[in-house]
Amino acid sequence: MNLDLNTIWFALVGVLFTGYAILDGFDLGIGALHLFTKDDTERRILINSIGPVWDGNEVWLVTGGGALFAAFPNVYATAFSGFYLALILLLVALIFRAVAIEFRSKRPEHWWRQMWDVSFSVGSVLSALLIGVALGNIACGVPVDANGEFAGTFLGLLKPYPLLVGITTVSLFMMHGAIYGVMKTEGGLHDKLRVWAMRCIIFFVICAVTLTMATLLYVPQMAARVKEYPWLFSIALANMLSIANIPREFHHKRDGFAFLSSCGAMLTLMALFAVDAYPYLIYSQPNPENSLTIYNAASSQKTLGIMLVIACIGIPVVLTYTVCIYWIFRGKVKMDRMSY
């Protein structure tokens, strides 16, 4: 591995998508849990717990997509045109989810609120599922022709392994969202969320164990690098410890630490995914020689250099004010008349 611009951008795109998973992950998780309560006030509190931040969280996806376009245009072109219907579905899910948050509490009628509640929840689950399925396909490889174009079909993307990754993603986000919800609420809803969070943790652990076994059995290339460089096993170990630490912290009601462990679990999962995928961005199965890598799919060195300058100026500034804004909205949700 050389630390060249292509590798740096592979890492940066990874950082952006990891940031998206950690931040929008809890938004989507809250959405997935939304319909479990029937009470209007509790639903409003759930929406308002993510109210000020969901917009900014979604920007991580937009910027991640932009960075992929800029750094690896061939991957962007192949994946987006190849996964056409899946991405259109993702767009529909994201649209409904976004506007539902804004529209829902604007009218008092029951049918109105129910309609947008369902949109919000279904949109959230579908988004998480599709993101996971996409990731699963990248992991196990998709057919690519000699021109670098996707050569499969929409139904071909719905193989068991990618679907398992999709379901694991949903369970991960639900757990993440439930812990976030526990931190942001009080009273009866807080107690309910505590019960849900525990169930979500169990759900996630089952999924994670199944996925790990499936990966080792059916997608051996995703574990090859860890076998080759045993020190990389420390990432897998950190991942297991983070996951194990979630129920422990949660049991001791140290919700903040449970949430951080959940973030840690996501970070290490993405890191594992990245070291095993490297240097492939789209692994071609069954013709590995057609794969798109960080070298044959990249922009010119000049562009990667310019964008590195942009990122070095921009990202510290973004992180600084993002932290400030989260700080302003820290603590339990308090409803006021500006709330959703």
Partner 1 sequence: MDVLTLSRIQFGLTIGFHYLYPPLSIGLGVMLVIMEGLWLKTKNPLYHQMARFWTKAFALTFAIGVATGIVMEFEFGTNWATYSRFVGDVFGSALAAEGIFAFFLESGFLAVLLFGWDKVSRKVHFFSTCMVCLGAHFSAVWIVVANSWMQTPAGYHIVTHDGVARAEITNFWAMVFNPSSMDRLFHVLCGAWQTGAFLVVSVSAWYVLKKRHLDFARASLRVGLTVGLIASLLQLVSGDSSAREVAKYQPAKLAAFEGLYHTTNDAPLTLVGYVDEKDQKVVGLQWPGLLSFLVAHNTQATVTGLDAFAPDDRPPVEASFVFFHGMVGVGFTMIAIAMLGCFYSWRKVLFEKRWLLWILVFSVLGPQIANQLGWFAAEVGRQPWIVYGLMRTPEGLSKILTANVVLTSLILFTFIYFLLFSVFIYLLNDKIQHGPDEQDLIPSGKLTLPDELTRHEKS
Q: How many CA atoms lie within 13 A of 242 on its CB side?
A: 21
In angstroms, the CA 138 to CA 162 distance is 9
CB of 261 to partner 1, least distance (A): 26
* 329 touches partner 1 by CB under 8 A: yes
CB of 29 to partner 1, least distance (A): 19
Q: Tell me the site size for partner 1, rule CB under 8 A.
A: 66
* 234 touches partner 1 by CB under 8 A: no
Q: What is the CA radius of gyration of the chain?
A: 20
CB of 318 to partner 1, least distance (A): 4
In angstroms, the CA 102 to CA 121 distance is 14
Which residue type occupies 136?
Answer: G
Cβ proximity to partner 1, 73 vs 279, nearer residue: 73
In angstroms, the CA 303 to CA 29 distance is 36
269 in Cβ contact with 239 (< 8 Å):
yes
Q: Candidates 82-90, 168-176, 247-255, 263-271: pick the segment binding partner 1 (CB under 8 A).
A: 82-90
* 322 touches partner 1 by CB under 8 A: yes
185 in Cβ contact with 193 (< 8 Å):
yes
Tokens of 14: 């990874």
In angstroms, the CA 145 to CA 149 distance is 5
**What are residue 144's DSSP bridge partners?**
150
Cβ proximity to partner 1, 12 vs 174, nearer residue: 12
Chosen residue from 11, 35, 98, 240 binding partner 1 by CB under 8 A = 98
Cβ proximity to partner 1, 262 vs 299, nearer residue: 299
* 77 touches partner 1 by CB under 8 A: yes
287 in Cβ contact with 144 (< 8 Å):
yes
240 in Cβ contact with 269 (< 8 Å):
no
- How many Å is the maximal CA-CA distance in the chain? 60
CB of 59 to partner 1, least distance (A): 5
Chosen residue from 22, 71, 157, 263 binding partner 1 by CB under 8 A = 71
* 26 touches partner 1 by CB under 8 A: no
CB of 191 to partner 1, least distance (A): 26
In angstroms, the CA 182 to CA 175 distance is 11
Tokens of 251: 């049991």
CB of 235 to partner 1, least distance (A): 27
Chosen residue from 106, 199, 251, 254 binding partner 1 by CB under 8 A = 106
Interface map 146-185 toward partner 1 (x if CB under 8 A): -x-xxx--x-------------------------------
Cβ proximity to partner 1, 198 vs 318, nearer residue: 318
Chosen residue from 52, 158, 225, 285 binding partner 1 by CB under 8 A = 52
DSSP class of residue 104 equals: G
150 in Cβ contact with 142 (< 8 Å):
yes
**Containing H/E element for 319?**
helix 301-328
* 91 touches partner 1 by CB under 8 A: yes
245 in Cβ contact with 261 (< 8 Å):
yes
DSSP class of residue 285 equals: S
Residues in contact with partner 1 by CB under 8 A are 51-53, 55-56, 58-59, 61-63, 65-67, 69-71, 73-74, 76-82, 84-85, 87-88, 91-92, 94-96, 98-99, 101-103, 106-107, 147, 149-151, 154, 299-300, 302-303, 306-307, 310-311, 314-315, 318, 321-322, 325, 328-329, 336-339
